[in-house]
Amino acid sequence: MVGTAHPTNMEYEGRYKAFDATRIRTYPLRTRSNKVKLNDLVFPKDLAAFAFDLPETVRQDVRTVAEAIGAARHEKKPVILFTGAHLIKNGLGPLLLELVERGAVTLVAGNGATAIHDFELALVGETSENVPTALDKGQFGMAYEFAYINMALSVGNQQKLGYGESLGRMICDDKFRRAVLALVAKQDSIQQFGHPEVSVLAACYQRKIPFTVHAGLGTDVIDQHPSFDGQAKGGCSGRDFLIYTNEVTKLTKGGVVINIGSAVTGPEVLLKAVSMAANVGAVPHGILTADFDLREHEPRQMTDESAAGYYFRDQKSVVTRIPHAFSGKGLYIRADQAQTFPFLCQQILETL
């Protein structure tokens, strides 16, 4: 492992003892063992031969979502897609990228890990660190190049940019990237993004479609580094929340909201955004919401605080409360997203 020369951005002068992040040692990302490589990614050309193993009831619900997306885009209504990290981590990013390129979605959102996996693929063409082999060695999440993300957010925060926009600009804009790397890159660091063509962040930036990142503090590997700047991360992500909410204000005449594999962050962001939109008079109406996940769903538990299902935020907010509050319809699509998302993309592309 190699040291880092960058001081921490998180100085503390309070009454307690805080961890000294300058003690952290890092290693070059190119030396890390990863589970997902370019050959593991699923591309649109692969859909024709894809082996779908889905019940007919699931297929029909997915077709309903695809048809609603096609109709919404034909009528220039919003299609908002929030995804957890596993969609990118499991190699399905190129399919989402195709939806961006085809104008099938008007905003892509994710958590911090979603952006990190996309960043890794864009930079080195690999992602999904083998955590068990790194954790006991103190190496999990310690690849030096995560400092690129932290510095892009620091620069982006100075320029009052959003999180997704800052990372997309770092991948796509030579001038911005040079400004970031001049502050953080080492002599042996990777200086170019080798595979921007598989990056959803890059595709959204180039197409001027927002990719909003809704991050917590202490939740991502970038937070482990001396380069971590909580003000920058919070500032950029906070702006993304307002960008996301602005898109939600366009749902007054209908549209589609999809949540894929996000159990808490996606549903909570949507819940707050629809409340803000309604508060200013932009009340969503007649929307279709769809939640893609693996857990069982029992609608009767959504109003029973003694039931475990009541506390599944995605089912309660995305499938039940929000569509019911705004004269809409909510669908819960229970199956492996490695099957349902490719099938959804196939149906959307056929509809378009």
The domain total for the chain is: 2
d(CA 347, CA 295): 24
**Could you tell me the pLDDT band of residue 189, with boundaries at 50, 70 and 90?**
confident
Question: Last residue of a domain, which of 209, 241, 273?
Answer: 241
Beta carbons within 8 Å of 137's beta carbon, 6+ residues apart: none
User: What are the tens digits of pLDDT across the range 250-309?
Assistant: 999 999 999 999 999 999 999 999 999 999 999 999 999 999 999 888 888 888 888 888
Smallest CA-to-CA distance from 189 within 313, 28, 73 is with 28
Residues found in the chain: 352
Question: Last residue of a domain, which of 207, 241, 275?
Answer: 241
d(CA 3, CA 24): 7
For residues 87 and 121, membership in a common domain is answered with: no
Specify the pTM: 0.95
In a domain, 17, yes or no: no
Q: Chain-wide mean pLDDT for the chain?
A: 95
pLDDT at 2 over 50: no
The predicted structure's pLDDT at residue 279: 98
H helices within the chain, ranges in order?
56-74, 86-89, 93-101, 112-124, 131-135, 146-158, 163-172, 174-184, 200-207, 230-248, 265-279, 313, 322-325, 337-351
In a domain, 45, yes or no: no
Sheet order of strands, 329-334 included: 211-213, 107-110, 79-83, 256-260, 288-293, 329-334
8 Å CB contact between 252 and 220: no
Q: Look up the domain containing 331 and give its range.
A: 54-106+250-352
Domain harbouring 88, CATH code: 3.40.50
For residues 274 and 340, membership in a common domain is answered with: yes
For residues 87 and 129, membership in a common domain is answered with: no
User: What are the tens digits of pLDDT across the range 212-222?
Assistant: 999 999 999 99
